[in-house]
């Protein structure tokens, strides 16, 4: 099938590679414009652009598909390519109706949740933050609403109690790659279904920098789930002696009798939470330092019992 692929981050790569490997003609890739990264502010290509160039696929990076000269030029490019299907995986732009209606088989989105639950920008982190034990991937026909289109295929992915956001990201990316190939096959042979989204739903809002600061007044399980949801990125944090400290991993500890947010056990870096339980910080990164396990940190840092974090 002749496909235009739209995607930007690492999550999209497995789907793009799977479509190429399955023998489909990926006629073009649309991805977000390159941006400056890190302290040096060097311009860095998006992961999808790097992959496309490796496969000699033409790349387009419009600022917008909805307005301005970029939108007009992109629409003409799409008409000239005349794709049978547009596959969208974490592209980062809203598609206008004229793009949605262009391909013969429509625009197909790969979404990292079991729709209609966890529509929105951050389904991977939010599903772990909420303590769920299962997530998955849904392919759907794109509509003008946000993740509201008719569903085609779904596949579940289990979430073990110690799985991090980064680990679920990789698992769902691989799942999405399998599912998009099956979906394109179903479109081609006429077996693709259209299942309207019905029932309970929720919105996985974008993660803000402000919410990443840990709130130890919450129950320990909620704090634990939040830490693993945000690991490895964007990463939860707290403050120790006035300096920011990233928290990548933790462990639940029952029966911690101390004020919320205080260090209840300085030998093992156990912090009290708001429900009479606590968490042990097991992998952290002090400000200006490197990521390390708590044993390595405590060899060079003496904690004060009762000291408050945050």
- From first to last of the 310 residues of the chain, give the pLDDT tens digit: 999 999 999 999 999 999 999 999 999 999 999 988 776 678 899 999 999 999 999 999 999 999 999 999 999 999 999 999 999 999 999 999 999 999 999 999 999 999 999 999 999 999 999 999 999 999 999 998 889 999 999 999 999 999 999 999 999 999 999 999 999 999 999 999 999 999 999 999 999 999 999 999 999 999 999 999 999 999 999 999 999 999 999 999 999 999 999 999 999 999 999 999 999 999 999 999 999 999 999 999 999 999 999 8
Q: Are strands 134-141 and 151-158 parallel, antiparallel or unpaired?
A: antiparallel
Block residue for tokens 């992109």: 74
Domain parsing of the chain, residue ranges: 2-204, 210-300
pLDDT for 40 equals: 66
CATH 3.10.25.10 fits 210-300, yes or no: yes
- Of 188, 135, 183, nearest to 159 by C-alpha is 135
CB-based contacts of 205, cutoff 8 Å, min separation 6: 120, 121, 122, 126
CB-based contacts of 82, cutoff 8 Å, min separation 6: 2
CA distance 105 to 126: 31
pLDDT for 128 equals: 98
**E strands of 143-289, at which residues?**
151-158, 203-204, 236-240, 243-253, 263-265, 270-272, 278-286
pTM of the model: 0.96
- 2-204 fold: Rossmann fold (3.40.50)
For the record, the structure tokens of 65 come out as 């598909």
CB-based contacts of 198, cutoff 8 Å, min separation 6: 116
Residue-wise pLDDT for 28-52, tens only, equals: 999 999 988 776 678 899 999 999 9
Block residue for tokens 């991937």: 137
- According to DSSP, the residues that pair with 120 across neighbouring strands are 204
Residue-wise pLDDT for 124-147, tens only, equals: 999 999 999 999 999 999 998 889
- DSSP letter, residue 261: T
pLDDT for 41 equals: 73
pLDDT for 89 equals: 98
């Amino acid at each position: 099938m002749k496909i235009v692929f739209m995607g930007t981050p690492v999550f999209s790569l497995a789907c793009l590679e799977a479509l190429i490997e399955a023998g489909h003609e990926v006629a073009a890739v649309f991805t977000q414009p390159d941006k400056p990264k890190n302290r040096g502010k060097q311009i860095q290509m998006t992961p999808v652009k790097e992959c496309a160039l490796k496969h000699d696929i033409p790349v387009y990076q419009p600022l917008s598909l909805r307005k301005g000269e970029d939108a007009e030029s992109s629409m003409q490019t799409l008409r000239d390519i005349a794709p049978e299907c547009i596959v969208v995986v974490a592209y980062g732009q809203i598609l206008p109706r004229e793009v949605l209606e262009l391909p013969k088989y429509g625009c197909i989105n790969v979404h990292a949740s079991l729709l209609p639950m966890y529509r929105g920008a951050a389904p991977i982190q939010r599903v772990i933050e909420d303590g769920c034990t299962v997530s998955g991937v849904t392919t759907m026909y794109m509509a003008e609403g946000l993740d509201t289109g008719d569903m085609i295929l779904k596949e579940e992915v289990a979430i073990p109690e110690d799985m991090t956001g980064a680990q679920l990201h990789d698992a769902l990316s691989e799942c999405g790659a399998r599912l998009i190939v099956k979906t394109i096959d179903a479109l081609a042979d006429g077996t693709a279904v259209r299942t309207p989204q019905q029932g309970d739903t929720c919105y996985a809002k974008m993660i803000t920098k402000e919410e990443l600061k840990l709130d130890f007044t919450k129950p320990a399980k909620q704090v634990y789930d939040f830490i693993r949801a945000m690991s490895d990125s964007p990463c939860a944090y707290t403050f120790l002696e006035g300096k920011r400290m990233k928290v990548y991993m933790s462990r639940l500890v029952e029966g911690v009798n101390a004020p919320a947010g205080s260090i209840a056990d300085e030998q093992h870096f156990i912090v009290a939470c708001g429900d009479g339980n606590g968490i042990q910080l097991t992998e952290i990164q002090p400000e200006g330092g490197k990521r390390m396990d708590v044993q390595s940190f405590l060899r060079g840092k003496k904690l004060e019992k009762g000291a408050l974090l945050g």
